[in-house]
Amino acid sequence: MEVDKMDENDWRYHGEGNKSLVVSHVQLSRVLRLLKYPAEDSENPPQTVEQAFRQIQNIVDFSSNVMSSLLGENFIHSGEVVKLPLEFVRQLSIKVQHQRPAWRCDKVMDIYSGCALCLPNLTSPVLHQPTHTPPLCIEIKPKCGFLPSSKHVSKDIKTKVCRFCMHQHYKVANGKWKRRSLYCPLDLFSGNRQRMHFAIRHLIEEPQNNFKIFKGGQCIYSSKEGSDDSMDLNSLLHHLRPYFQYGNNRINSHMTNKAVLHDFIQVLVNALLSGGGGDGGVVTDRRGEGRSFCEASLFNKERIRHGSQGLPSDSVLSRILHTQMLDTLDIEGLHPLYRRVEQHLQEFPKERARLQIDGPYNEAFLEKLQKCPNEDESSVEYAVAKVHQYRVSMTAKDCSIMVALVPSCEEEEDDEGQRRLRDFLSSRPPAFSYSVSILDLDPKPFDSIPRQLRLDQKIVSCYLRTGGSLQRGSLPPLPGIFSAAEREECTLLFHPV
């Protein structure tokens, strides 16, 4: 990518979050992530070019030096900071403006610094084998996968109902979403295939911001915030059917909607349970099964046929869960330590750099949070380490998993070098090459902790006021395509990339 020859017509709107806007190249498998400002700052940028560059470099450093060590470097793509011609950025901003959702337009794209983060386009992967069928990419934002057990938790409901399930009541009450999602992260993180299948079904039913499907780099399935539109499952099935019409003696035969979705979900479950370089390792110790069941989940524990297997230790979900569990105190126990650090910095402002409150996110920062000085819990160093652990945990609770699937060629070489022709008439579903990645690994700001405490209090009080009394029988039934009994699980062939 030649920066001095940038043309806005080579880029298209890809999506955006709260703090950045993403464009993708129409030919190259590359995206640019640009910062956003509040609309009132559009005429007067809130930070200098140097500050913008440092902000993006911090994202790169945090991802490559901290999160990569915790989550596994094979899952991470940190990218690099690039300086773009200002005229290109201004023209790009004009071009994409009409494609942006109206509810995101309270912020504008940074057209002053020319700084951006360049990353691989994970929705349109370049895998090693050519294929005529465009790749599928599934984005899942799994959220927090455990219940807190800290002695600082003041409301017992937090140890029984997960944060995501409680937050759904708060979001609907405040009009952010029209309907509650019945997805529960604890089912996805359980490692039990039945519970994981159940969780992904609910993500498909009500995707919200937690589930998207891309085909050839184009988003074909997602939700719009505040929208009353129901998801078009028939359209999704139309897209998915060609990928799953072979196998299980189905060649040239009609395949039911249920069968298409079952095989699609099964592929996803296999990818999420696979290891970084193979089929997974030792099953993890779940540190107490009581933390892995949420009372708000509709999954009936009695349905589990083979017990709760747990997660393979090198799977993407296991890595994320263990990083989330750096939050050992809960926000209620963490906030007093934050106040201790804040007061220390008011008295000794120059200590901010030594304690690495705003970075740099290097090996020393990683060492601070990994070697927390437990022997002196009254020290500011202990408080800082716990704050750093919490911030890293929050990043893991808000990350996204990208699962890219490419249908394998009919004739290919396996790992042993033997040629193998896929038998379409066998009972095996189609094979896929796949890759699993983690993104959205920005550092959470130090000063966001008081806001996190206030949000936690609002979510819990709202749930106790509304959700806690809502019985399961009052929930809407699932769409017909999900209502039938599940078929027996099938085995899918996978080739990790």
* String of DSSP letters for 406-445: EEPPSEEE-TTS-EEE--TTSSPPPPEEEEEEEE--PPPP
CATH number at residue 23: 3.30.200.110
Judgement on whether residues 111 and 145 belong to the same structural domain of the protein: no
| Predicted pLDDT at 230 | 57
Residue 228, domain member (yes or no): yes
SS (H, E, C) 62-110: HHHHHHHHHHCHHHECCCEEEECCHHHHHHHHHHHHCCCCHHHCCEEEC
25/214 Cα distance (integer angstroms):
15
Judgement on whether residues 76 and 108 belong to the same structural domain of the protein: yes
Judgement on whether residues 48 and 87 belong to the same structural domain of the protein: yes
| Predicted pLDDT at 34 | 96
Final residue in a domain of this structure, among 89, 120, 151: 120
How many domains, the chain? 2
Residue 385, domain member (yes or no): no
Residue 159, domain member (yes or no): yes
Q: What is the residue-level pLDDT of the chain in tens, covering all 497 positions?
A: 676 678 999 999 998 888 899 999 998 899 999 999 888 877 778 889 999 999 999 999 999 999 999 999 999 999 999 999 999 999 999 999 998 988 888 999 999 999 999 999 999 876 545 557 889 999 999 999 999 999 999 999 999 999 999 999 999 999 888 889 999 999 999 999 999 999 999 999 999 989 999 998 889 999 866 555 556 788 899 999 988 876 444 444 567 888 899 999 999 999 999 875 444 444 444 444 456 889 999 987 766 665 556 899 999 999 999 999 999 999 999 999 999 999 999 999 999 999 999 999 999 999 999 988 777 889 999 999 999 999 999 999 999 999 999 887 544 444 433 333 333 333 455 678 889 999 999 999 999 999 999 999 999 999 999 866 544 433 444 444 454 334 334 444 455 55
Judgement on whether residues 223 and 97 belong to the same structural domain of the protein: no
Residue 57, domain member (yes or no): yes
Judgement on whether residues 115 and 158 belong to the same structural domain of the protein: no
| Predicted pLDDT at 385 | 95
310/304 Cα distance (integer angstroms):
13
- Residue span of the structural domain in which 439 resides: 136-325+395-496
Judgement on whether residues 188 and 317 belong to the same structural domain of the protein: yes
Judgement on whether residues 317 and 417 belong to the same structural domain of the protein: yes
Judgement on whether residues 152 and 262 belong to the same structural domain of the protein: yes
Instruction: State both tokens at 490.
Output: 């099938």
Judgement on whether residues 203 and 309 belong to the same structural domain of the protein: yes
Residue 140, domain member (yes or no): yes
Judgement on whether residues 156 and 302 belong to the same structural domain of the protein: yes
Residue 67, domain member (yes or no): yes
Annotate 380-405 with DSSP letters as a single string: HHHHHHHHHHHHHHHHHHT-EEEEEE
Residue 233, domain member (yes or no): yes
Assess contact for 384 and 341: CB atoms under 8 A: yes
The conformation of residue 328, written as its DSSP 8-state character, comes to -
| Predicted pLDDT at 147 | 96
420/429 Cα distance (integer angstroms):
15
| Predicted pLDDT at 402 | 96
Judgement on whether residues 304 and 402 belong to the same structural domain of the protein: yes
Judgement on whether residues 183 and 256 belong to the same structural domain of the protein: yes
3/83 Cα distance (integer angstroms):
8
Final residue in a domain of this structure, among 86, 120, 154: 120
Assess contact for 195 and 187: CB atoms under 8 A: yes
Residue 446, domain member (yes or no): yes
Assess contact for 181 and 206: CB atoms under 8 A: yes
Final residue in a domain of this structure, among 64, 94, 120: 120
* Geometric angle at alpha carbon 312, from 196 and 404, rounded to 5°: 65
